[in-house]
C-alpha cells in the first residue's frame, strides 16, 4: 500500500464529511507526474472517545468504503494514544497525520508524500507559516515554545507541533508515542536514529466548526514533557551518570566543608584563639544537608540502575539493516 492517512479526532462530527470528501478528491489522482495511477491508500480515523456522533459517521463510511477504517476509544485518552494506535494499524509505505478540524488542508498530501519518497526523507513536518489562530493565545506562545524546542532538541523545525506530517513507515513502527509526547515526534524519531527530517510550509485555515480541545495548560505541559524527553534520551539507560555524579559532588562538597570547619575549630582552640563551636555555625548544617542530599541522589541513581537493568527493553535497539 502506498499511503496511510491517520486522523485523530475528538468531537469533530461536523467537519468529518467535508474532510473525507477532500481527501478522496486529492487521492483520486496520481500523486506525482511520474505516476500514472491514483495511489493505493487507506484512511484511519481514531476516535478519541467522542460523544457527538463522530463514530457513527466513521462506522457508516467504513461499511461503505473498504479504504476507510476506524478505531474508537471507550473514553478520551488524548492525541498521543490516538496516534499510537493509528500508527500500529497503518499499512502504507508513507504515513500522513493530520487533524480533523479542517485547519490542515488535504491538498498538501501529495507534496508531503513526494518529499518523503523522492528526497528519501524519514519525516517531513508541516510548518504553519501563516497561522490563523489568536495572536496571544497561540501565535506568540507557539513561537516561544518552538524556539525552546529547537534549542533543546537540536532539530531546526519552525513548527515542531504541527499536526500535518509525513513519515516513512519504518519511523512510525519504531517509535512509541505516549502521554502527551505527540508534540515531540520529530525528536522521538531522531533519537530512534531517523535523522533525515525535512520541513514544508503548509496552508493553515481557520477552524470552521467547533472549538479547540487544547487549553493554555498545553504550554506548561509541553515544556515539562520536553525536559522529560531530553532526560530520558540522555540518561534513561544510565541514570547513575547524572544522579551519581551530582550526588557524589554534593557529598564531597558537604564533607569537605564539615571537615574544614572541624579542623579550623581545633586549630584555633589549640592556639588559644577565640572560636565558635562547630554546631553553632549555619555552614555546618548546610554541609550536613549537602551530605544527606548527596547520599540520596547517589542511592536514587543506584536504584535507577537496578530498574534499568531489569527492564525488558534494556537491550532494545533500532537496527537499520542486517545482511
Reported as half-sphere exposure (CB side, CA atoms, 13 A), residue 245 has a value of 5
| Contact criterion met (CB below 8 Å) for 89 and 97 | no
In this prediction, residue 319 has a pLDDT band, given cuts at 50, 70 and 90, of: low
Q: Are residues 130 and 196 located together in one domain of the fold?
A: yes
Q: Are residues 128 and 229 located together in one domain of the fold?
A: yes
| Contact criterion met (CB below 8 Å) for 239 and 304 | yes
pLDDT, residue 132, reads 65
pLDDT, residue 134, reads 57
> Quick check: 16 pLDDT over 70?
yes
Listed residue (242, 249, 250, 227) closest to 300, CA to CA: 242
Q: Are residues 220 and 265 located together in one domain of the fold?
A: no
Q: Span 217-222, mean pLDDT?
A: 68
CATH code at position 92: 3.90.550.10
pLDDT, residue 246, reads 93
Q: Domains in the chain: how many in total?
A: 2
pLDDT in tens, 99-157: 999 999 999 999 999 999 999 999 999 998 877 665 555 667 777 778 888 888 888 89
Q: Are residues 45 and 162 located together in one domain of the fold?
A: yes
> Quick check: 90 pLDDT over 90?
yes
Q: What range defines the domain where residue 303 resides? A: 240-310
Reported as half-sphere exposure (CB side, CA atoms, 13 A), residue 284 has a value of 12
pLDDT in tens, 22-38: 999 999 988 877 777 89
> Quick check: 310 pLDDT over 80?
no
Q: Span 295-312, mean pLDDT?
A: 85
Locate 147 and state its grid cell: 524556539
How many whole angstroms separate alpha carbon 147 and alpha carbon 262? 49
Burial of 105-116, coded b for 16+ CB within 10 Å and e otherwise, reads: bbebbbebbbbb
How many whole angstroms separate alpha carbon 124 and alpha carbon 116? 7
| pTM of the full structure | 0.76
| Contact criterion met (CB below 8 Å) for 44 and 67 | no
Amino acid at each position: 500500500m502506498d499511503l496511510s492517512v491517520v486522523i485523530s479526532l475528538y468531537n469533530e462530527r461536523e467537519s468529518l464529511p467535508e474532510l473525507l470528501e477532500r481527501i478522496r478528491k486529492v487521492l483520486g489522482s496520481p500523486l506525482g507526474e511520474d505516476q500514472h495511477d491514483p495511489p493505493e491508500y487507506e484512511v484511519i480515523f481514531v476516535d478519541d472517545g467522542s460523544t457527538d456522533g463522530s463514530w457513527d459517521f466513521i462506522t457508516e463510511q467504513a461499511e461503505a468504503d473498504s479504504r476507510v477504517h476506524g478505531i474508537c476509544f471507550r473514553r478520551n485518552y488524548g492525541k498521543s494514544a490516538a496516534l499510537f494506535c493509528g500508527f500500529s494499524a497503518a499499512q502504507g509505505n508513507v504515513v500522513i497525520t493530520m487533524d480533523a478540524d479542517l485547519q490542515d488542508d488535504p491538498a498538501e498530501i501529495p507534496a508531503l508524500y513526494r518529499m518523503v519518497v523522492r528526497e528519501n526523507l524519514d519525516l517531513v513536518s508541516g510548518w504553519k507559516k501563516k497561522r490563523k489562530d489568536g495572536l496571544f493565545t497561540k501565535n506568540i506562545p507557539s513561537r516561544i515554545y518552538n524556539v525552546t524546542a529547537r534549542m533543546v532538541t537540536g532539530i531546526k523545525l519552525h513548527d515542531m507541533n504541527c499536526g500535518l506530517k509525513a513519515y516513512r513507515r519504518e519511523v512510525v513502527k519504531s517509535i512509541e508515542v505516549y502521554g502527551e509526547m505527540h508534540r515531540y515526534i520529530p525528536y522521538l524519531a531522531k533519537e530512534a536514529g531517523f535523522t533525515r527530517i525535512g520541513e514544508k510550509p503548509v496552508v493553515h485555515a481557520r477552524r470552521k466548526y467547533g472549538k479547540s480541545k487544547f487549553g493554555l495548560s498545553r504550554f506548561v505541559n509541553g515544556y515539562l514533557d520536553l525536559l522529560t524527553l531530553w532526560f530520558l534520551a540522555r540518561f534513561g539507560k544510565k541514570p547513575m551518570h547524572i544522579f551519581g555524579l551530582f550526588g557524589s559532588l554534593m557529598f564531597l562538597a558537604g564533607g569537605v566543608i564539615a571537615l574544614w570547619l572541624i579542623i579550623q575549630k581545633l586549630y584555633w582552640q589549640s592556639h588559644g584563639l577565640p572560636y565558635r563551636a562547630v554546631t553553632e555555625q549555619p555552614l555546618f548544617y548546610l554541609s550536613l544537608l549537602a551530605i544527606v542530599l548527596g547520599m540520596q541522589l547517589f542511592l536514587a541513581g543506584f536504584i535507577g540502575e537496578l530498574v534499568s537493568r531489569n527492564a525488558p527493553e534494556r537491550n532494545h535497539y533500532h537496527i537499520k539493516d542486517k545482511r
